[in-house]
Amino acid sequence: MVEVKTAEELNKKFLREGMWPTIFCNGCGHGVVLEYTFWALEELGWDMDKTMFASGIGCSSRLPGYINADGLHTTHGRAIAFATGIKAADPDFNVIVFTGDGDCAGIGGNHFIHAARRNIDMTVIMINNFIYGMTGGQLAPTAPLGSIATTAPYGNIEHPFDICELAKALGANYVARWPVSHPYQPIKSIKEGLQKKGFSLLEFLAPCPTAYGRRNKLGDIKKHWAWYDDNTILIEDYDKIMKYGSVKEKEEVKDKMQIGVFQDIQKPGFFELYDQLMERLKVEENKKREGKK
């Protein structure tokens, strides 16, 4: 196997060159997340013939089309349901879902909830840009309060969805959130998520300069990245301040988005339990038969 050292070599190995150019705008975070995913896959040395990608609708959902592997581009919000089917058909496949905030937290919320609850063995990579980018900038359920969108021209008054807290509460095995502006932690988290049996959620805060940035004075990509630095806080730091900090310190961080690894546990996954169930029933059935003899 040729050793990959540069981004160019990485792209050559994983991308479908025939699909270029991509649909992504200048400054979009989707390509960054894709590259982080490729580095993680490369470092793990996964067989791409045993790896399948699924996606729904929206900018994020175009990603499988650019990857040189099997992919299923499905309907709005349903990628996780399709991916559950792939996994059920052959649990040996590695299943990765690319989804967005509208796709996963909006229209497809119910599928997300139940896949996480059942602890289905898959890795969901949700790229959160706070907006429906492809249809022209409608408010997404993850957008911070006050965000301007075509459907919130005077500022968002709907409380945003914290999808990581939700996944954690549902007992997903691995949950992490990183802004794309962090270069190393995402790759490490993707690797951990991919290797984990059971349900993993990786949420990436990624800029959409065209549909979100422009309307929220973050059209300049440097400002957008700086926004992540100013408005996020490591979970460990947040916890420390909330425990030992002053009133002023607490006030400063209380509305920041926490980043880092929210959950890293090892509950058995759905298919593991399913196999155990089948084994148990077989033993019981055999016992009954022997009893009859």
Contacting residues toward other proteins, per CB under 8 A? 57, 73-77, 106-107, 109, 132, 134-136, 138-139, 141, 150-151, 153
CB of 74 or CB of 128, closer to other proteins: 74
CB of 151 or CB of 231, closer to other proteins: 151
Closest CB 135 distance from other proteins, rounded Å: 4
CB of 29 or CB of 137, closer to other proteins: 137
Tokens linked to 64: 């499988």
Task: Quote the CA–CA distance of 82 and 61 in Å, as a whole number.
Answer: 13
Any idea which residue has 């089917």 for tokens? 85
The 3-state DSSP composition of the chain as helix, strand, coil percent (nearest 5) reads 50, 20, 35
CB of 63 or CB of 134, closer to other proteins: 134
b/e string for 260-276 if b means 16 or more Cβ within 10 A? bbbbeeeeebbbeeeee
Closest CB 14 distance from other proteins, rounded Å: 22
CB of 107 or CB of 116, closer to other proteins: 107
Task: Quote the CA–CA distance of 169 and 292 in Å, as a whole number.
Answer: 47
Closest CB 84 distance from other proteins, rounded Å: 18
Q: Name which of 121, 116, 122, 129 is nearest 168 in CA terms.
A: 116
Closest CB 106 distance from other proteins, rounded Å: 5
- Alpha helices per DSSP H over 119-263: 163-169, 185-195, 221-231, 235-244, 247-253
Closest CB 100 distance from other proteins, rounded Å: 13
